[in-house]
């Protein structure tokens, strides 16, 4: 179901042990070793546990019967400055999320970063390895609770079904930036191979699990961003093209080995002030299937997503959030009526509208508690793996989440 893990058994205790060892190592290093070592090496990490309760439908486990504790995120990252121009970065993540992620330790990113040009106002670098795919404001840190505005990111854009596809890719990325007195323009462009070996992606692409497998083709992503030097305004535009091909299993009656192009673009805007912050993102996703010699499969479908989100800090440690988040699987059929007829799934499977209100309480520099409630109409982003039969899902449902995060 998920990417192959580095370790199959006992992974959580292993990672926790690793976190503890690193913690004590750092503590002792700070106390007795030369400052040079700690000035070039940094280690950070987090562990988070979430309780989820849904009125109907399953979100990360059996969430509608008494609640689910099946959402746990643990991560550890390290970075090292080798020379002024050469850095290495790496992060391991264990994520347990209902049926879609089993908690295996994954290499989230592992990058060699070479800064080949650097002036006071401009710089350029090459990044090689497993690189986080630039996509909107949050994709690169989507599994890190402290970087999210709420327990769950707006699901219309950062949904579970294609997460492995947009997570990270083994690739080469070029990054550059130019700064003026007002702000900085930066861009990233990369090509590589994403991870597509995942049943949820097949459901997203084909609307069902086919006998064969999806294989990656060379894919591209590019992002351009402008932000004021104090980050009061941030705007960005991301465009990516993810290419896949279908590898037949060799059974009779199977579709021909066709190609799939997934081409999303996303526009993002954020305005920050001392007490409040407003974020908006709008995305369009075109999925083209071609060469399957099957009228049900060969088609082009465009999905649309957007949200508007406000955050308000009314005390130094307390922040409230409100968000309205919308997803349409097919812009030519926003109500899902046509798709429901041809694909034998309920109409509400093709859209989702989600009102979220939540609170974050930062208890101290290491511990944060969060709680939120979602009022949802539609199941457009509900993980397929937690809800195998779309006809058993309910259109109107609520989701409550409570999470505790430790980070250092």
Partner 1 sequence: MKKSRRFKRKIYSLLGIILLGTLGIVIPGIAHSSDTVIINASVPQTELSKSTLQAIFGMRLRKWPNGTPIKVFILSDEHPLHIEFCKLILNAFPHQLKRAWNRLVYSGTGQAPIEVASTEQMLVRIATTSGAIGYIDRSLLNDQVRSIQIK
**Would you say 99 or 362 has its CB closer to partner 1?**
362
**Would you say 35 or 251 has its CB closer to partner 1?**
35
As a whole number of angstroms, the distance between CA 327 and CA 302 comes to 11
Q: Which of 348, 368, 344 is nearest to 358 (CA)?
A: 368
Per the listing, tokens 């009061």 go with 232
- Minimum Å distance from CB 384 to partner 1? 27
3-state helix/strand/coil string of the chain: CCCCCCCCCCHHHHHHHHHHHHHHHHHHHHHHCCHHHHHHEEEEEEEEEEEEEECCCCCCCCCCCCCEEEEEEEEEEEEEECCCCEEEEEEEEEEEECCCEEEEEEEEEEEEEEEEEECCCEEEEEEEEEEECCCCCCHHHCCCHHHCCCCCCCCCCCCCCCHHHHHEEEEEEEEEEEECCCEEEEEEEEEEEECCCCHHHHHHHHCCCCCCEEEECCEEEEEEEEEECCCCEEEEEEEEEEEEEEECCCCCCCCCCCEEEEEEEEEEEEEECCCEEEEEEEEEEEEEEECCCCCCCCEEEEEEEEEEEEEEEEECCEEEEEEEEEEECCCCCCCCHHHHHHHCCCHHHHEEEEEEEEEEEECCCCEEEEEEEEEEEECCCCCHHHCCCHHHCCCEEEEEEEEEEEEC
Q: Find the binding residues for partner 1 in span 266-295 (CB under 8 A).
A: 272, 274
Q: Answer whether 112's CB lies under 8 Å from 119's CB.
A: no
- Minimum Å distance from CB 336 to partner 1? 35
Examine residue 123 and tell whether it contacts partner 1 (CB under 8 A): yes
Binding segment for partner 1 among 15-23, 54-62, 71-79, 153-161 (CB under 8 A)? 71-79
With CB under 8 A as the contact rule, the residue among 21, 28, 118, 300 that binds partner 1 is 118
Examine residue 56 and tell whether it contacts partner 1 (CB under 8 A): no
Examine residue 135 and tell whether it contacts partner 1 (CB under 8 A): no
With CB under 8 A as the contact rule, the residue among 4, 120, 332, 389 that binds partner 1 is 120
Examine residue 91 and tell whether it contacts partner 1 (CB under 8 A): yes
Binding segment for partner 1 among 38-46, 158-166, 291-299, 327-335 (CB under 8 A)? 38-46
Count residues binding partner 1 (CB under 8 A): 49
- Minimum Å distance from CB 238 to partner 1? 14
Q: Answer whether 175's CB lies under 8 Å from 127's CB.
A: yes
With CB under 8 A as the contact rule, the residue among 21, 24, 28, 42 that binds partner 1 is 42
Tokens of residue 186, six digits:
């930066």
**Would you say 7 or 275 has its CB closer to partner 1?**
275
As a whole number of angstroms, the distance between CA 75 and CA 211 comes to 34
Examine residue 341 and tell whether it contacts partner 1 (CB under 8 A): no
Tokens of residue 183, six digits:
């702000």
**Would you say 319 or 330 has its CB closer to partner 1?**
319
Examine residue 65 and tell whether it contacts partner 1 (CB under 8 A): no
Examine residue 31 and tell whether it contacts partner 1 (CB under 8 A): no
Examine residue 44 and tell whether it contacts partner 1 (CB under 8 A): yes
Q: Answer whether 328's CB lies under 8 Å from 305's CB.
A: yes
**Would you say 157 or 205 has its CB closer to partner 1?**
157
Q: Which of 32, 155, 38, 141 is nearest to 91 (CA)?
A: 141
**Would you say 125 or 384 has its CB closer to partner 1?**
125
With CB under 8 A as the contact rule, the residue among 49, 55, 77, 302 that binds partner 1 is 77
**Would you say 150 or 329 has its CB closer to partner 1?**
150
Binding segment for partner 1 among 49-57, 121-129, 299-307, 342-350 (CB under 8 A)? 121-129
Q: Find the binding residues for partner 1 in span 137-166 (CB under 8 A).
A: 140-141, 144, 146-147
With CB under 8 A as the contact rule, the residue among 64, 70, 104, 113 that binds partner 1 is 113
Examine residue 246 and tell whether it contacts partner 1 (CB under 8 A): no
With CB under 8 A as the contact rule, the residue among 35, 250, 251, 332 that binds partner 1 is 35
Q: Find the binding residues for partner 1 in span 182-241 (CB under 8 A).
A: 182, 184, 229-231
Under the rule (CB under 8 A), what is the footprint of partner 1?
35, 38-39, 42, 44, 75, 77, 79, 81, 83-85, 87, 89-91, 108-111, 113, 115, 118-121, 123, 127, 131-132, 140-141, 144, 146-147, 175, 177, 179-182, 184, 229-231, 272, 274, 313, 365
């Amino acid at each position: 179901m998920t990417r192959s893990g580095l370790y199959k058994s006992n992974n959580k205790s292993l990672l926790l042990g690793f976190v503890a060892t690193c913690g004590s190592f750092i503590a002792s290093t700070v106390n007795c070793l030369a400052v040079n070592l700690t000035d070039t090496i940094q280690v950070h990490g987090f562990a988070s546990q979430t309780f989820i309760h849904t009125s109907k439908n399953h979100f990360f486990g059996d969430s509608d019967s008494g609640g689910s504790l099946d959402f746990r995120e643990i991560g550890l990252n390290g970075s090292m400055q080798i020379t002024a121009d050469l850095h290495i970065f790496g992060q391991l993540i264990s994520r347990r999320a209902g049926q879609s992620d089993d908690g295996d330790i994954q290499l989230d990113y592992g990058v060699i970063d070479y800064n080949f040009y650097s002036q006071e106002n401009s710089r350029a670098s090459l990044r090689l390895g497993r690189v986080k795919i630039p996509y909107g404001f949050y994709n690169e840190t989507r599994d890190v609770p402290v970087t999210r505005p709420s327990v769950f990111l707006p699901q219309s854009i950062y949904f579970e079904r294609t997460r492995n596809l947009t997570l990270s890719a083994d690739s080469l990325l070029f990054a550059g930036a130019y700064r003026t007195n007002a702000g900085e323009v930066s861009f990233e462009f990369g090509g590589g191979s994403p991870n597509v070996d995942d049943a949820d992606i097949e459901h997203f692409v084909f609307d069902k699990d086919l006998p064969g497998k999806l294989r990656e083709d060379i894919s591209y992503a590019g992002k351009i961003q402008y932000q004021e030097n104090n980050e009061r305004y941030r705007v960005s535009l991301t465009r990516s093209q993810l290419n896949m091909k279908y590898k037949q299993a060799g059974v009779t009656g199977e579709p021909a080995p066709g190609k799939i192009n997934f081409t999303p673009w996303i526009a993002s805007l954020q305005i920050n002030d001392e007490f409040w912050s407003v974020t908006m993102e709008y995305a369009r996703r075109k999925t083209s299937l071609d060469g399957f010699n099957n009228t049900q499969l060969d088609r082009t479908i465009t999905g649309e997503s957007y949200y508007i989100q406000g955050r308000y800090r009314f005390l130094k440690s307390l922040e409230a959030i409100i968000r309205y988040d919308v997803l349409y699987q097919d812009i030519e059929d926003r109500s899902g009526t046509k798709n429901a007829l041809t694909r034998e799934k309920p109409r509400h499977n093709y859209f989702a509208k989600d009102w979220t209100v939540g609170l974050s309480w930062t208890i101290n520099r290491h511990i944060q508690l969060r709680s939120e409630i979602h009022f949802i109409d539609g199941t457009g982003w509900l993980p397929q793996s937690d809800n195998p039969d779309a006809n058993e899902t309910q259109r109107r449902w609520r989701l409550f989440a409570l999470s505790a995060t430790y980070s250092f």
